[in-house]
Each structure stands twice: as C-alpha cells, then as structure tokens.
Chains A and B, each alone.
Chain A
Amino acid sequence: MRIELRDVCYGYQPERQVLRHINLCFDGNQSVAIIGQNGAGKTTLAKHLNGILRPTQGSLLIDGTDICDWTTAQWSSRVGYVFQNPDDQLFLGSVREEFSFGPRNIGMDEAAIGRRITKVAALTGLQDKLDAHPSDLSPTEKKFCGIGAVVMMNPDAVVFDEPTCGQDHAGNARLHRLIAELKHEGKMCLAISHDMKFVAANFDRVVAIRKGEVLLDSTPEDVFSQTDTLRESFVAPPPITRVAQGAGLADTVFSVDQFIEAIRNTRSK
C-alpha cells in the first residue's frame, strides 16, 4: 500500500495552521517513526492518515486514489489508528468484544474473527485475558488491548500514537516483536514517539516535524547524525548514539556491537 500526502494543510482554528504544506509518501511495509517537539503537529498529522481529520487544503491518496471523501469505515479497514490513551479507545465489556467489534463492523465473517482473535491475542499477550473487562486490565494490558483491537481489523497500515508511553521493559520487547511481525506480514507501521531508543531499534525511516513542517525525513542513521537540526525539534539521539558522538566517532551507532565496531574502525585508521 502507498499513502501520499500532497501539500496537506490543517488548522483546528482557521487562523492557527497546525500543519503547513506537508508532502510525504509512505510505501509498502516501511516502518516510519514520527518525532518532534510537543505541539509540532505529530498527532494531527497521524490523524490524517486514517481520516479522523481531513485536510483543510491539499489531498491524501491511497494507492493513487484521492480518498478525502471516503467514509470512516472505508478508511479504518485500510489504516488502523491506535490511540495514545487506551481509555480514549476502549468501551466494551470484555477484551474479546473489543477484538470482535471492529472486524464485525467491516463485515469480517465469524470464523475469520475467531481465527484472528487467537492470533492477535498471542501477539498482544492477552491469551488469558480475553474474557476480562478492559477496566480490570493493568495499564500495559490495556494498551495492548487497544493495539489488538486495531490489528484485528487486518488493516494494511497501523498508526501508533506513543506506543511506549508507560511501558516497561517487557512491554517494549513485546511491542518490538509485534512491529516485526506486522512488517513481516507486509504491513506498514507508523508511530509517533518521544522514545528515541525505541525509534532507533524499530524503524527504517524517521520523519522529524517542527512547527507543522517536515524538518528531516531519512534513515535513523542520517536523522540522528544531524544533532543541531534535531535540537530544533527538541529531540536528542538515543543515549548510546550520543556517547559515540561525544567521543568523536564518525559513525552513527545504535547498539553496543555497532559502537565497538566503530571504535575498531577508528583505531585502525
């Protein structure tokens, strides 16, 4: 699938533009992180990707077709949106009902829903919680219930708003596996995040937004090497990357192994 934003502008009030002439194209099973300062327009941008918001100017295309007049149901079967706060999303009496609601509304048959519940429950670690009430779940489980409810609809792209917010080590590891699995299935994953360790470890492409405009759009290696520009969007590279930069290593590294290799390369020069 291919999502294109062409000259997209948006303002909640006409006099205050939140997005200014955004041109972006997301393709295939790319995983993309959207980073930037609070209030830069990250969530506003992400909400355009599944029709929660519609541009006040410009257009959105999926696979070349202008989709601005699609219904929300049409959008949500192609692009899923996981809210930052699961309490904004969950409203039914059990995890199973949450998981079934979306697929049933887009006409998925019951047998397929049943099969997907087994699969998605395993992915989200909620196998033993299917009959639990969402309000009885721990915050981590609730977050994965929100993710699962969206993945259940089998969309071509999933948008995550701050997925690591409040997650512990185990939650982050599960998220890593889930994103890898979606990518393996050919899905596109887009995430808004303030967690640069998570961004560097999970995404092929990083888009930095500042004041409603695209500031940087490249690989994590390239984006995190531009520290001065990043600072303008209130972002610093991940800790290990910063140490390498502080020690004067030329390579942009994200792991201990890469760090050691960079030291060896520098020493042999």
Chain B
Amino acid sequence: MKEVVQVDHFSFTYQDAKAPSLRDVSLTVREGEFLCVVGANGAGKTTLCNSLVGLIPHYFSGSSEGYVRVNGADTAHSSVADLSNYIGLVFQNPFNQLTYASGTVAEELAYGLGNRGISRDEMRRRVKLVSQLMHIEDLLDRDPLELSGGQVQRVAFGSTFIMEPNILVLDECTTQLDPLGASEIFEIVKQLNAEGVTVIMVDHDMERVVQYADTVVVMDAGRVVLSGSPKGVFALSDLGRYGIDAPEYVKLSKGLEKNGLANGDLAITYDESVAMAKKALER
C-alpha cells in the first residue's frame, strides 16, 4: 500500500537546545494505517507530530538532518498551508489550537476554510456537518474564550476535521474530556480511519492504544526504539525501561497465566480479556 508519510533518518535540535529532540528517526506510515506513538514525556513525540505537519521547520526553528515527506512532498520545501491540504494536527493543549481571531465558534471552525478560499455555502455546509459530528451545535454562536476545556477540545477537533485532511495527527488530544466523551471522539476517529483516513496518534492511555492501533511505535530519548503490532510490542516485558506501562489487559493476561488460570495467550483488548476471564472461571 502507498506510503503517505516517510520519515528518513530525521534529526532535529530546537534552537538554543543543548541536545537533539529527535535522533535519526526513520518511520513510514501506509495509507489508511492507524499508528500510535507512545513513550515517556520528553521522548520526542510532540516534536515528531510538529515535524509531520511542517510546524518544524517552518514555525519552530532549529537545525535538522534527514527529511520528512508527506504525500511525497518534502515538508522543508512545502508551506504549512500547502501541507494542511493533506495533513491536520489536533494539538495537545486545545487552547493553543484556536486562533482566537474569531468572535464565535462557527467562525473559528470556518477559519481554515476561509484561508483556503472555500465558498460561503460550502463553509456553512461543513460547519453544520462538523458541529453535528462533535456535538457542538449549541455552541456555534458562543465566544470561544468562554468555553470549558472539554468544549474547546471538541472545537479544536472540529476545526481540524473540517479541513478534511487525509492524514490526521492527534497529540494527546482528549486529556480534557470526560471518559465517555473521549471514547465518543475516538469512535469518530475510528470511523474516519475506516473510510480511509490515515491516523497518527500520540497517547498515554495504553488501553486505548491497543484498542485502535494497527502499529505501535515506542520512542525513547528522541529515538524510535520499537515498532510493531500492539500484541508484539506489549508482549515484551521490559517496556518499563522506556518509561511506559503495559495495558491493564496485558498485566491481567500475565497474572492469570502465572496463577495457572490461562494458557499463555495475550489478551490486549477488553473483549479478549473478558473471554479469557470467562474461560478461567470454567477451568
């Protein structure tokens, strides 16, 4: 399948920083893949996200080696505006995402479309669609500055989805949402992924990562140290040295096996774990 993102021996050091934030990172993402990036804070996850959408090197200055290509275009030689035709980023802190140049949520949602010269009718159609999807229809006339953290996060999602990118980059983007609200947004992301959108997601919630990821990439101190299927990666017992914790489901599988209640299979999702527990009850 087509490779939509190619990171090749890419290193980046922020201006005035003593050490590189990314070190010789190589990574490819196939069209339609759901890839999750995990690692301790400071591992370089956000720097990678910023590199994929062109904020590095166009907004954050520093020195780099290697290259990042998105849909074949070298990010160093494409503007952030051009890249935004293919790739959209939902920021870690939603308050950093909004332009605040708009008086209402509706204008905020349409801001990117305005810059792209989309017609008024099309803007209205997409604002309606996205606000329904994100359940923010009743916020459209509100001032973005008056919203709660969870509401701002929904608007931030909406303002990215509305650009209809074929690659979505999500950087710990549901930290302000209640658990069911977060699940609801991930179901929307999963739906978009099923329709062909490529997803690159950074998250600390390992149960969520195993639920959605086709591929898990582990980062540590600016490097990619592991990459593989969720089952392959989380079966490893020494993940602690990269500052990450195994999903609860994996810990349960291993605990059941240790106590003679399972046969060594690894359950990595809720459904698999329930099936394994039911079997343990019957043994």
Residues of A within 8 A of B (CB): 36-40, 84-85, 138-140, 162, 165-171, 194, 196-197, 231, 233-236, 238-240, 242-244, 246-249, 256-257, 259-260, 263, 266-267
Residues of B within 8 A of A (CB): 39-42, 92-93, 95, 148-151, 172, 175-183, 204, 207, 240, 243-245, 247-249, 251-252, 254-256, 259, 261, 270, 273-274, 277-278, 280-281, 283
B179, B255, B261: which contacts A236 (Cβ < 8 A)?
B179
Q: Could you list 12 further interchain pairs (A-B, Cβ under 8 angstroms) beyond the known A238-B248, A243-B274?
A: A40-B178, A140-B42, A168-B40, A168-B204, A169-B243, A169-B244, A171-B41, A194-B177, A194-B182, A231-B180, A239-B248, A239-B249
Contacts of A247 in B (CB 8 A): 274, 277-278, 281
Nearest A residue to B279, CB-CB? A247
Nearest B residue to A247, CB-CB? B277
Q: Is the CB of A166 within 8 A of B92?
A: yes
Nearest A residue to B261, CB-CB? A263
Q: A240 and B281 in contact (CB under 8 A), knowing A38-B148, A194-B177, A263-B261?
A: no
Nearest B residue to A242, CB-CB? B270
A244 and B270 CA atoms in complex are apart in Å by 10
Q: How far is the CB of A239 from the nearest CB of chain B, in Å?
A: 4
Q: A243 and B178 in contact (CB under 8 A), knowing A38-B151, A84-B149, A167-B204?
A: no
A240 and B151 CA atoms in complex are apart in Å by 29
Contacts of B151 in A (CB 8 A): 38-39
Q: A256 and B179 in contact (CB under 8 A), knowing A243-B277, A247-B278?
A: no
Contacts of B244 in A (CB 8 A): 168-169
B175, B243, B281: which contacts A263 (Cβ < 8 A)?
B281
Q: How far is the CB of A102 from the nearest CB of chain B, in Å?
A: 25
Q: Is the CB of A256 within 8 A of B251?
A: yes
Q: Is the CB of A257 within 8 A of B277?
A: no
A231 and B180 CA atoms in complex are apart in Å by 8
Q: Is the CB of A236 within 8 A of B281?
A: no
Q: Is the CB of B176 within 8 A of A234?
A: no
Contacts of A38 in B (CB 8 A): 148-151, 176-178, 181
B40, B93, B148, B256: which contacts A39 (Cβ < 8 A)?
B148
A85 and B183 CA atoms in complex are apart in Å by 23
Nearest A residue to B283, CB-CB? A267
B39, B270, B283: which contacts A243 (Cβ < 8 A)?
B270
Q: Is the CB of A246 within 8 A of B274?
A: yes
Contacts of A240 in B (CB 8 A): 248-249, 251-252
Q: A248 and B278 in contact (CB under 8 A), knowing A236-B179, A240-B252?
A: yes
Pick the 3 closest A-B CB pairs, nearest first: A38-B150, A247-B277, A256-B255
A2 and B223 CA atoms in complex are apart in Å by 50
Q: How far is the CB of B42 from the nearest CB of chain A, in Å?
A: 5
Residue among A167, A169, A259 with most chain B CB within 10 A: A169
A47 and B169 CA atoms in complex are apart in Å by 34
A259 and B273 CA atoms in complex are apart in Å by 12
Contacts of B249 in A (CB 8 A): 239-240, 243
Q: Is the CB of B256 within 8 A of A260?
A: yes
Residue among B148, B179, B254, B255 with most chain A CB within 10 A: B179
A-B contacts, 19 listed (Cβ < 8 Å) = A36-B178, A38-B178, A140-B42, A166-B92, A168-B40, A168-B243, A169-B244, A234-B180, A234-B181, A239-B249, A240-B252, A243-B248, A243-B273, A248-B281, A249-B277, A256-B255, A259-B252, A259-B255, A260-B259
